[in-house]
Amino acid sequence: MNDQLDPSVHEWAKYERLILFDGVCNWCNAWVNFVIDHDPGRQFKLGTLQSEQAQRILRDLDLSATDYQTFLLLEEGRVSTKSTAALRVLRQLSWWWPLYYLCVLVPAPIRDVVYDFVARHRYQWMGRAATCRIPTQEERDRFV
């Protein structure tokens, strides 16, 4: 997988920090709520993997555009996925959440086993919505 997006091809590569998530996954929406609640500096923009822009990004990264097994973190065009993306997000949040970034010392293949297990079971555990998340009025400026 190419881990860098060309900003001349992908307009979302311009964002400093952009999280792309499965908009119908209740687990993923809970994660987005958590990020919003712990990101007082409003560093992160958010978008759904179902959007046209994200679909193009997924295809260019050779990732499935229908079976979302990861969320993407774009940092000025650099792409992180799975546990690495989650840890990079936690590192930027308030309170003591950045301490979890120490888990990056565990090799990614080992961390990703846990990530993949959760990804496979997330719909069973928390269900899925009929449609993508619609941001509230207060959240609209956070979404692309």
Predicted local distance difference test score (pLDDT) of residue 111: 92
Q: What angle do CA 116, 94, 124 make, to 5 degrees?
A: 30
Predicted local distance difference test score (pLDDT) of residue 8: 66
Domains and CATH numbers, the chain: 11-133 (3.40.30)
Give the model confidence (pLDDT) of 19-76 as tens digits: 999 888 888 888 999 999 999 889 999 999 998 888 988 888 888 888 888 889 998 8
Report yes or no: 16 and 76 within 8 Å, Cβ to Cβ.
yes
Q: Is the confidence at residue 113, as pLDDT, over 90?
A: yes
Predicted local distance difference test score (pLDDT) of residue 65: 80
Could you give the CA distance from residue 15 to residue 21 in angstroms, rounded to a whole number? 15
Could you give the CA distance from residue 33 to residue 29 in angstroms, rounded to a whole number? 6
Task: Identify any residues that bridge with 67 across adjacent strands, giving them in sequence order.
Answer: none
DSSP letter string, 54-72: HHHHHHHTT--SSS----E
pTM, 2 dp? 0.86
